[in-house]
Amino acid sequence: LNIMSNVRKRKGLLELLVEGPVVGDGSMCMTLEKRGYCRAGPWTPEAVLLYPDAVKQLLREYMRAGADVLQTPCYASSDGRLKRGNINYTVRHKFHTSEINEAACKIAHEVALEGNALVCGGITPVLSYLHKKGDLVIRAEFTDQLEIFIQRRDTVDFILAEFFGHVEELEICIDVMKRSKMPIACTMRIGPLGDLNGVSVKECAVRMARTGADLIGLNCMFDLNTTLKTIKRMKKALDDEGLETPLMCQPLGFMCPEVENSLYGYARLSEDPFALEPRQVTRFEVHAFARAAYDLGVRYIGGCCGMEPHHIRAIAQELSAERGRNPPVQDMCPPCEWLKKSNITTTQKKTNLEFWMNLKPGCGRPFNPSCNK
Ligand SMILES: [Zn+2]
């Protein structure tokens, strides 16, 4: 095991970023909810203790799709959020941040060893910031999440603070994370309106870079097109200030143009969280997104809620020339030569990426609007 782990750690996140674009993993709690392993609402990650095999399999699918990084599946593993999620479990067991994060490290590490992936320890915003509990309490909640990643640094390659709605809270979190001495990445869940305290995208970008984080960007909440608009503003803000921090993005896997100018993105849709499927992006939309994001200068591209393994595969496939490698299941990627083996003659002719890239897919529901009013 030690030999394998040394081989795996030959290249860390910063070295990979210098070599070429890095592919992240995709949707975790939203996908586990569909599969029956996570509760919509609290979205807490007890699955790492209750159903470790299910969580492992999903991570394995991301790695098989071409992800270079597997995130510890512990979104919402902070004390305040776990208390919410624990309500239905009180009779059996109360879950704590430390045991959840410990299990998440073990799961991600074991899968990463199967395919030379890096493991990123995920840290979530805390309710004590929202409830204005004061600096000490907020820092303690971040420290709780970080502690296991420091203790299990043999299994974790870098730390990611993700899904922050307030840049002020993110600054506190990164200050706490510096204790780890590991590379630091961070993302905010903001759109063109900026953060929840009214801080502009431009100012968020500059402040994120000035924390000293090694990688900064966006995740969740907004669709591929809105994410591109916001990341473009971030890039310009960094360029204007002479800041060179590399950018990352892990967007939502659902199209939702009508909430572009909302602070809460897709959470404002009537369809959230149980009827989003007709809005799910196709892998070809992800191809186009990955290319556009790369052209804008984004160097770490993955997905958040709704971005499934085949979407991650599309990122790895689109950037295969830049990365010097194909996703592990390349022979199943479109334009797929195997379609020629189909018994259906019209299918046999679809081995052309142009055809798929130019397709306007229907939703199959004659009276559905394209956007929800
Ligand atoms: Zn998400």
CA of 6 relative to ligand 1 center, distance in Å: 32
For residues 91 and 129, the answer to whether their CB atoms sit within 8 Å is: no
Closest C-alpha to 32, from 196, 273, 238, 265: 273
User: H-helix or E-strand containing 167?
Assistant: helix 167-177
Question: 173 vs 71, 134, 198, 218, CA distance in Å?
Answer: 18, 13, 19, 16
Binding site feature residues: 220, 304-305
Q: Is the pLDDT of residue 6 over 80?
A: no
Neighbouring C-beta atoms of residue 12, cutoff 10 Å: 13
Neighbour-count burial of 3, counting CB atoms closer than 10 A to its CB (0-12 exposed, 13-18 middle, 19+ buried): exposed
List strand residue ranges (DSSP E) for 128-173, in order: 158-164
Q: Is the pLDDT of residue 40 over 70?
A: yes
The pLDDT-based confidence of 5 (bands split at 50, 70, 90) is very low
Is the domain covering 3-333 a CATH 3.20.20.330 domain?
yes
User: Distance between CA atoms of 1 and 32, rounded to whole angstroms?
Assistant: 29
Whether the bond into 125 is cis, omega within 30 of 0: no
Region 1-14: mean pLDDT is 60
Closest C-alpha to 47, from 70, 86, 74: 74
Which pTM was predicted? 0.95
265-296 tens-digit pLDDT: 999 999 999 999 999 999 999 999 999 999 99
Q: For the sheet containing 215-219, what is the strand order?
A: 22-23, 298-301, 247-250, 215-219, 184-188, 158-164, 118-123, 69-71
CA of 337 relative to ligand 1 center, distance in Å: 34
CA of 191 relative to ligand 1 center, distance in Å: 13
CA of 219 relative to ligand 1 center, distance in Å: 7
User: Distance between CA atoms of 62 and 259, rounded to whole angstroms?
Assistant: 28
Ligand 1 (ion): which residues have CB within 5 A?
220, 304-305
For residues 307 and 252, the answer to whether their CB atoms sit within 8 Å is: yes
The pLDDT-based confidence of 1 (bands split at 50, 70, 90) is very low
List strand residue ranges (DSSP E) for 151-282, in order: 158-164, 184-188, 215-219, 247-250
